[in-house]
Amino acid sequence: MENKKYSKEMLFDFYQTMIRIRYFELKLTEYFTKGMLYGNIHTSIGQEAVAAGANKALEKTDFITATHRGHGQIIAKGADTKIMMAELFGKSTGYCKGKGGSMHVADVSLGILGANGIVGAGIPIAVGSALASKIKGTNEVSMAIFGDAASNQGVFHEAVNMSAAWKLPVVFLCENNSYGVSVNIHTVTNTDTIAERAKAYNIPGVTVDGNDPIAVYEEVKKAVEYARKGNGPSIVECMTWRVRGHYEGDRALYRSKEVEEGWSKKDPIDNFRNHLLKEGIEEHEIVSIEEITKKEIDDAIQFALDSPLPDYSEVTTDVYSDDNGRCVAR
Amino acid sequence: MKKITVSKAISEGLHEEMLRDENVIILGEDVGEMGNVFAITQGFQEEFGAHRVIDTPISEAGFLGMSVGAAMRGIRPVVELMYVDFIGVSMDPIMNQAAKMRYMTGGQVSVPMVLRAPQGSGRRNAGQHSQNLETFFTHIPGLKVVCPSTAKDAKGLIKAAIRDDDPVVFLEHRLLYAKKEEIPEGEYIIPLGKADIKREGKDITIITWSRQVYFALEAAAELAKEGIDAEVLDLRSLVPLDWEAIRESVCKTHNVVIVHEGVKRSGFGGELSAQITEELFDELDSPVERVAALNVVPPFAPTLEDAFFPHPEDIVKAVKKVLNK
């Protein structure tokens, strides 16, 4: 992280995005433990730098598809934490009116084409979004976000291959946290990295430190510019660590203590905070931004708690755009 | 009126929609340079360009998933599976993505795509190329399912399907493509969810769709010789379902046979039979009868395949059984 080249404002932006995600996720673990959240919660604690760095490289008008572990990416793309929290609590004020929950948060107006509960399924959707931009002659870039495990889905190959053949404006952002639930990527894959598969498609591929938001930002920015100029897709693989288990309640006993401890020294937020101090930013300024952000998340929780659950009558709405009543009835 | 084949009718519908709306695109295997194995999109790539008529690699899950993404961005993809059987490798984009996206996002997005897939038995294509899989799709809320029979219907319905904002699965019967029939000149639309009485009758209602409409008509002609007046109701679309048309016909004839080419077990006929029995029991003079394919794998040899799926004589037999004649 050597750079005087980034403004204080930009550095703060990276930091605030990361702590916004961290505080958001920590609140979820707290409320899940209290039994106040429904379903499953997959947090992205430890992976915040990937989200903060990658989304900073996108324009507001660009698109992403996120994963089941997508809260961080979605927040980094600009989602309102209040509306998002409300969705995670299944409230009618949420992004999806309580119909989607954690794995399906979307805000199309912000370019968030949805998290996804099916591993790898967002990859061809992002490529389809890129195809739409090409057909319309507009210059948005679409970013497919996926984990290391999703790279072993067939649609990863199909989607990367087609986007490479047709030079579609897409970036494949791999969040490599080494685990698909309990299975280590190296026990099921014969390459050291996911990015080296890029060779097979004749596209650029790079592996970066996914716990350094600036490193992520710089590589994704290159890939975004490359795509926007019409050169086609790239793979950017970010090496990171999922601090919690696959979902809340998973103690992740399949990972060794030593490896976990090694990664705990690489916490993206602790490290970046030290970096800010080294850059000459005053402690009180950092504390101030932390307090503001904590308050934002506390407010989001309050908003979610105060919001009503959807009315029972909502169960049959929004299935179809046209002729909904008849199609739902029979 | 003019006389054209069913495949030409579909082609005309697609062509008119491509001209009308530049957001309509066509993609799939061999739809571009070759113009589809049944010549349905022949000349389209030349006319509309390779960016709107796209030859895909053999990556069904990939290009169906792409179609979902493009549709979420306002493109209206008409994506083709060369055989409906290939949905086996590509169901996720349809059942978990296209069908659910609107609901899961609280109504934020629509997925205005059409999945065109030829299906049907009778071409001696054996186990993996002869199935009728409409119930795969009717079982998934969020999808609309259309099964046209005539050339006139096929054209009007494909146009409605393309203009519809929801994902529509459009199942064409391969053995109807070459049928030459009269259709109206010029543009017209047939709305989804409107059944059509292909033959009026007063003694019994034969509810059916796709190629079995023709078999039902043959059966009805045969039955007429024996003084039985059968009504043939072509559903045309299964979702949305034209319940009013079913109700009216059943209330008129009080006897029902449901005919479809897909296998009987968990077929859509079972669903229709249940709905009719639940809601119109007092109208019925006899139990609802189903005529459908056997619960076996589509066979190859002509003798076996003909024994596998319904033919007019099976329908005649079922009608007589119901009417006790």
Cβ neighbours of B67 in A, within 8 Å: 128
φ/ψ of A207, rounded to 5, equals -115, 130
For B42-57, what is the mean pLDDT?
A: 98
ipTM score: 0.96
Listed by number, the residues of chain A in 279-318 with a beta carbon closer than 8 Å to a beta carbon of chain B are 317-318
Evaluated on CA atoms A176, A179, A181, A183, the torsion sign reads positive
| Catalytic residue status for B200 | no
For B155-163, what is the mean pLDDT?
A: 98
Q: Are B63 and B31 in contact, with CB atoms under 8 Å apart?
A: no
CA dihedral A140, A57, A158, A154 (to 10 degrees): -140
Q: Are A45 and A319 in contact, with CB atoms under 8 Å apart?
A: no
B69 and A133 within 8 Å at the Cβ level: the answer is no
The segment(s) of chain B belonging to CATH 3.40.50.970 are 2-183
| pLDDT for residue A3 | 52
Just give the CATH number of B196-323.
Answer: 3.40.50.920
For residue B286, give the amino acid letter. Answer: S
| pLDDT for residue A27 | 98
Which residues lie across from A172 on neighbouring strands?
A: A144, A235
| pLDDT for residue A5 | 85
Q: How far apart are CA B320 and CA B221, in angstroms?
A: 14
Domain definitions of chain A by residue range: 8-329
- By C-alpha distance, the chain A residue nearest B244 is A326
Q: Are A160 and A235 in contact, with CB atoms under 8 Å apart?
A: yes
What is chain B's mean pLDDT, rounded?
A: 98
- Closest-CA residue to B51 (of A137, A124, A195, A270): A137
Q: Are B101 and B65 in contact, with CB atoms under 8 Å apart?
A: no
| Parts of chain A with a pLDDT under 70 | 1-4
Q: Which CATH architecture has domain A8-329?
A: 3-Layer(aba) Sandwich (3.40)
> Which tokens is B14 given?
């697609």
The segment(s) of chain B belonging to CATH 3.40.50.920 are 196-323
| pLDDT for residue B135 | 98
For residue A278, give the amino acid letter. Answer: K
Radius of gyration of chain B (CA): 19
Separation in Å, CA of B47 to nearest CA in chain A: 16
Look at residue B89 and tell me whether its pLDDT is greater than 80.
yes
Q: How far apart are CA A230 and CA B258, in angstroms?
A: 54
Burial of residue B278, with CB atoms counted within 10 A of its CB: 0-12 exposed, 13-18 middle, 19 or more buried = exposed
Q: How far apart are CA B68 and CA A216, in angstroms?
A: 29
pLDDT digits (tens, 9 = 90+) for B272-305: 999 999 999 999 999 999 999 999 999 999 999 9
B74 and A118 within 8 Å at the Cβ level: the answer is no
CA B272 distance to own-chain centroid: 16
> In CATH, which of 3.40.190.10, 3.40.50.970, 3.40.630.30, 1.25.40.340 is domain B2-183?
3.40.50.970
> Which tokens is A88 given?
């995670």
For residue A285, give the amino acid letter. Answer: E
Q: How far apart are CA A314 and CA A301, in angstroms?
A: 23
| pLDDT for residue A2 | 52
Query: With an 8 Å Cβ cutoff, is B163 touching chain A?
Result: no
- Closest-CA residue to B249 (of B292, B284, B217, B289): B284
The CA–CA distances, whole Å, from B226 to A90, A306, B219, B316 equal 62, 72, 11, 11
| pLDDT for residue A102 | 95
